[in-house]
Chain A
């Protein structure tokens, strides 16, 4: 099982749509989880951390299910500017570096 697996995508949605991305991780001892956003040919940028209780930041909601080793990201009212690749990220087993999923590409159209 890969360390971090994500929906293959791509997701093509109209403006205003709600879209959800899923991610599973293999290391049950992982403590820290993140969603990063990567625009084409750019470096990843932290979108939000994922907490056990779930957290929301504007139109973005992240959920963590430790029992299923599953993380989700929900984007409401999609904007054109949300078009990017969303990376699910977990700290490695040693807790020293980030392990990235392959990413899910989102394309929002008008």
Chain B
């Protein structure tokens, strides 16, 4: 089956630092990847849609300058949380859609804790 990986799986950082999270589709090419965020006991919230070779589309209320998304290849999208603050602590999950359409496959998620 389709596999999506994320790295790192867990990160703890100091307030003010930037954190980069990688999302890779391991055995298929993904023209579209999505980034979600989930706070404790809350639903997954779509942050942005990332299309290979073009700028990401951000959902309302998500700051594009704070959450930088790069989708440079068909198998890799990165999310950089710039100048992270404690309120950015969350579970960040990516998903990828196989080229040609189909189901979304989720990565295992990255737990970010900002101290």
Contact = CB atoms under 8 A, between A and B. Distances in A.
A99 B103 contact: no
B43 A43 contact: no
A103 B43 contact: yes
Interface in B17-71: 32, 34, 36, 41-46, 49
Interface of B: 32, 34, 36, 41-46, 49, 91, 93, 95, 103-104, 106-109, 111
B106 A43 contact: yes
Interface stretch (A12-20, A51-59, A63-71, A90-98): A90-98
Interface in A28-66: 41-46
B46 A99 contact: yes
A92 B46 contact: yes
B107 A43 contact: yes
25 contacts: A4-B43, A41-B91, A41-B111, A42-B108, A42-B109, A43-B106, A43-B109, A44-B93, A87-B43, A92-B46, A96-B32, A96-B49, A97-B46, A97-B49, A98-B34, A98-B44, A98-B46, A98-B104, A100-B43, A100-B44, A100-B45, A101-B43, A102-B41, A102-B43, A103-B43
A100 B49 CA distance: 15
Contacts of A101: 43
B42 A102 contact: yes
Nearest to A101: B43
Interface centre among B32, B43, B46, B93 (most CB of A within 10 A): B43
A45 B105 CA distance: 8
